[in-house]
Chain A
Amino acid sequence: MSRPAHRRPEYHKINKDLFVLTYGALVAQLCKDYEKDEDVNKYLDKMGYGIGTRLVEDFLARSCVRRCHSYSEITDIIAQVAFKMYLGITPSVTCNNPSRTEFSLILDKNPLVEFVEELPAGRSSLCYCNLLCGIIRGALEMVHLAADVTFLQDTLKGDRVTEIGITFLKKLDEKKYRRKK
């Protein structure tokens, strides 16, 4: 071979596909295991939560994020640093309320659904990407921030974009927390 194996572009693609394909296999397996969409969604969220609690350490180790002073800074970092690092995309951020505790991440392109054309028959309430909500929620909780994270729009359900809503639950107390995501 004239070029080192790891630099060949097709292997980069295989690596990106591996996570997306594995995720698809996981959702398919959960759909086999659980009849109700709510149960699949719940398990995806639970697994995401477990991943998020560990991923946040990996994230903090690799990125040089500075101390945050507001929920809006934290949300910007999730969108511009974390999503970029792990999924290669940068969602846009909007703020949904005047007290600046509710935000949305808008994804024009969602890599997780790259190979999914539509939801399986009889699974119209399935939140295919619910793992992402759990990941964000778990990661935030490890840095002492409680938040509700849900899908507000879903391209697999006919919406134009994918929208993830993050609602921070506790009032941020600067004196209490020394380190934030």
Chain B
Amino acid sequence: MADAALFEFLHMEMVAELWAHHSDPGPGGTPLLTLLRQIFSREHRTSLYAVLGQKMSLSVLEGMGFRVGQALGERLPQETLAFREELDVLKFLCKDLWVAVFHKQMDSLRTNHQGTYVLQDNSFPLLIRMASGPQYLEEAPKFLAFTCGLLRGTLSTLGIKSLVTASVASLPTCKFQVVIQKT
């Protein structure tokens, strides 16, 4: 579907643009950054900014994904939401949600049956456009943050609080780790 291409290009541009903006706060920035600017010397600041900036960018992207995931969750038909078990919800994410959003199913789902699930996609569409293998490993987290949020947001609408992180060993394969938060 052509819409998929539009989303993929938008996502790529969002990563580039939001990354650039949030990784390098410039003269402005939050009170925390202003304080740090006052305390640390220039050379220490640069690497600190880099780390903080990266964390901020990832959380901005993740936050956007979360909002979109919540909204998508609200649009799901009611009958699909009658899940009996937590595992059914995760299976739903791996099959139905992944197909609806990425036109393919998740390739594997593993769990320790104690609230941790690992979802593996061997050819994740948002990583496909980057060369396979280890060259862009450093860049990969930026391209996964939005999707982590998406999963977390959809789970939230389905009544499940979770923490979702992603890891990449070799593009385009990636793993999403979902840890259910018990309240």
Among A11, A46, A87, the residue within 8 A (CB) of B17 is A46
- Chain A interface, number of residues (Cβ within 8 angstroms): 35
* Cβ–Cβ contact A86 & B13, under 8 A: no
**Which residues of chain A come closer than 8 Å to B60, judged between CB atoms?**
29
Residue B11 contacts which of A5, A22, A86, A87 (CB distance < 8 angstroms)?
A22
Which residue of B has the minimal Cβ distance to A6? Answer: B99
Tally the A-B contacts, defined by beta carbons under 8 Å: 99
Q: A29-B64, A85-B2 are in contact. Are A23 and B75 (CB under 8 A)?
A: no
Given contacts A10-B77, A15-B100, A29-B60, contact A22 B9 (CB under 8 A): no
B residues near A47, Cβ cutoff 8 Å: 13-14, 17
A105 touches B (CB below 8 Å): no
CB-nearest residue of chain B to A34: B21
Q: Would you call the interface of chain A mostly helix, strand, loop, or mixed?
A: helix
Contact A19 B72 (CB under 8 A): no
Q: Inside 8 A of B131's CB, which chain A residues have their CB?
A: none
**Pairs across A and B, CB under 8 Å, 25 listed:** A5-B95, A6-B103, A11-B99, A14-B72, A14-B97, A14-B101, A15-B3, A15-B100, A15-B101, A17-B72, A17-B75, A18-B72, A18-B101, A22-B11, A22-B146, A28-B64, A28-B67, A43-B17, A47-B13, A51-B12, A54-B9, A54-B12, A55-B5, A86-B3, A115-B71
Closest 7 CB pairs of A and B: A11-B100, A14-B100, A25-B64, A19-B7, A51-B9, A5-B99, A21-B68
Give residues in A with beta carbon < 8 Å to B.
5-6, 10-19, 21-23, 25-26, 28-29, 33, 43, 46-47, 50-51, 54-55, 58, 62, 85-88, 115, 131
**B-to-A contact residues, CB < 8 Å:** 1-7, 9-14, 16-18, 21, 60, 63-65, 67-68, 71-72, 75-77, 80, 95-97, 99-101, 103, 105, 146
